[in-house]
Structures are given as structure tokens and as C-alpha cells.
Amino acid sequence: MNRLKYLEERIFLGLMVISLIIVVGSLVMILGMVVVRGVPALNLAMLTQTPRGGYYLGKEGGILNAIVGSLALAGGATVLSFFLGLAVALYLQVFTMDARLAHLIRLSLDVLWGIPSIVYGAFGFTLMLWLGLRASLLGGIVTLTLLELPIAIRAMDEVLAMAPSELREASYALGATRLETAWHVLVRQSGPGLLTAMLLALGRGIGDAASVLFTSGYTDRLPTSLLRPAASLPLAVFFQLGTPVPEVRARAYASAFVLTVIVLIISVATRSLTGRLRRHVIR
């Protein structure tokens, strides 16, 4: 009887360690695959040139269009969702007195967070049809903004909630209005955290393909106008992988490597920022 319970303990501990190895192992396997396949296919021309004639048959060129396009799409969406998101997060934290309303809004943000990006894409497309827009950088930015908003708001909401309430009380006691308290005290106090929230949203936005598929299209040129289509890295991976030409498929691996490196940099920056940049923070 006693033996049995220790045997059981052993078995389950073993199973747990095995599952942990499988989970961490799959991460290692994916990252390893991206490096092993991507690095040999990478060269300077890929990073500095746009596709030339015959690129998709294996001739000269690179994916600069997709790199710049992705940065423009996700960057634009992140800036937009920062300002919109900050307004909503501050409203939830400072302006509204109605706890049930705030709870309901947080619930709907969590639901928005879970909505698949292809649905955002379909909705963005519908929106663009009504506005008479074609697949364009602007359409992609609007759709990605919707996708990033719930992430940005929830993260900023949590960051703002961590500011000590004495700070607010001191500000109100000096006669500051809610807006002044929000802007001069809370935002300043939470600065680093707000930046982290933005990086979180940027990371999600830059890797997303399904939402920009309909809305920003794809082009071999660099994005120069908000009303023209823009390329993006995830779609560069997807389209190049779909061709039968081995050289082009190899470029898909290289594109995936570039995308993964960008996402990893954002992720590491998010982590290290959490600790630093605390000049205005009162502890």
C-alpha cells in the first residue's frame, strides 16, 4: 500500500518531466529548424534588395519589400493602438467609477483577444469594401490595429493598475483634475510598463499573416503610399514556400529566419525593458 503511493508519485513525476521535455523540445526543434534551414539561404542581397525580374523563378533579388512592409504595417498599427489603447486603459483606470462596466469591458477585451486573426482579416476586408478602399497599407494597418488593440489595452490596464494609489490621492489632494492626474502622474509613473505593452502588441502584429492577407495584399515594391498594397514577411514566407523552385523555397526559409529574429529581438527587448527605464518611477 505504502509502496504503491510512492510508485505512483514516481510514475507521475516521470510523466511530467517527459511532457516538459516534449514542450521545451518542440521549441528547440522549431528554432533549430529555422536556423539550420534559414541561415545557409541568407545573404546580404536578400536583406537589401527588392525582388527583381524573374525573382520567383530563382533569379536575383531580396525581401527588402517584405521587411520594410512588415515594419510599416506593424509599426503603424502599434502607434495607432498605443494612442487608442492608452485612452481606453486610462478611462478604465481613472475616469470610470462603475466597476461593473469596467468588468464587462475587460471581459469583452479578453474575448477580442481570442478572436482568430482570419476573422479580423475578414472584418477588415468588409470595412474596406464599405469605405471603398482596396488592399493597401492603410487597410492592413487598420486591421492590425484592431488585432493589437485588445493586447495593448489589457497590458496597459494591468501596468496602470500597479501604480500605487497614494500617488493618485496626492495628485487629487493638490487639486489636479482626473485628466491631469492621468497624464502627469499615472502615465509618467507607468512609462516603462506602457512601452513593454507596446512591444507585446508589436510582436503579435508583426508575425500575423492571416489578417493582412486580404487587407494589405502583396507587392514587390517598397511601400511608398498608404493607399498602395504592402508586402509583409509572414506572407513572403508563405508565398515563397508555395513555389516549386528550390531556390525560392530556400528564400522562404531565410525569410522565416529574418521574421523569427525580429520577433525574438522584440521579445527579449520586452523582457529587459521591464527591468530598466525607470527614471520617472517613484518607488
Subset of 172-231 contacting another protein (CB under 8 A) = 177-180, 203-204, 206-210, 213-214
User: Which CB, 56 or 238, lies closer to another protein?
Assistant: 238
DSSP assignment letter at 254: H
Sole window of 53-61, 72-80, 235-243, 275-283 interacting with another protein (rule: CB under 8 A): 235-243
User: Which CB, 137 or 202, lies closer to another protein?
Assistant: 202
Residue 245 interacting with another protein (CB under 8 A): no
Residue 90 interacting with another protein (CB under 8 A): yes
Applying the rule CB under 8 A, the residues between 151 and 170 that interact with another protein are 153
Binding to another protein by CB under 8 A, coded x per residue (else -) over 98-137, reads: ------xx-xxxxxx-xxxxxx-xxx-xxx-x--------
Non-local CB neighbours of 240 within 8 Å, separated by 6+ positions: 56, 248, 249, 251, 252, 255
Q: To the nearest whole angstrom, how small is the minimum distance from the Cβ of residue 113 to another protein?
A: 8
User: Which CB, 35 or 226, lies closer to another protein?
Assistant: 35
Residue 265 interacting with another protein (CB under 8 A): no
Residue 39 interacting with another protein (CB under 8 A): no
Residue 62 cell numbers, joined: 531580396
- Residue 280 CA to residue 54 CA, distance in Å, equals 54
User: Which CB, 81 or 189, lies closer to another protein?
Assistant: 81
- Identify the CA nearest to 178 among candidates 92, 278, 283: 92
User: Which CB, 57 or 83, lies closer to another protein?
Assistant: 83
For 162, other C-beta atoms within 10 Å of its C-beta total 9
Rg of the chain in Å (alpha carbons): 23
- Counting residues that bind another protein (by CB under 8 A) gives 84
- Residue 236 CA to residue 222 CA, distance in Å, equals 13
Residue 106 cell numbers, joined: 475587460
Q: To the nearest whole angstrom, how small is the minimum distance from the Cβ of residue 279 to another protein?
A: 25
Taking the CA atoms of 240, 244, 249 and 250 in sequence, report the sign of the dihedral they define.
Answer: negative
User: Which CB, 46 or 235, lies closer to another protein?
Assistant: 235
Q: To the nearest whole angstrom, how small is the minimum distance from the Cβ of residue 70 to another protein?
A: 10
Binding to another protein by CB under 8 A, coded x per residue (else -) over 1-30, reads: ----xx-xx--xx-xxxxxx-xxx-xx-xx
User: Which CB, 245 or 282, lies closer to another protein?
Assistant: 245
Q: State the number of CA atoms in the 13 A half-sphere of 182 facing the CB.
A: 16
Residue 253 interacting with another protein (CB under 8 A): yes
Longest dimension (CA), the chain: 76
- Residue 257 CA to residue 133 CA, distance in Å, equals 32
Q: To the nearest whole angstrom, how small is the minimum distance from the Cβ of residue 149 to another protein?
A: 6
**CA dist list (Å): 210 to 126, 136, 275:** 15, 15, 33
Residue 237 interacting with another protein (CB under 8 A): yes
- Identify the CA nearest to 269 among candidates 214, 197, 205: 197
CB 138, CB 217: distance < 8 Å: no
Sole window of 57-65, 159-167, 187-195, 262-270 interacting with another protein (rule: CB under 8 A): 262-270
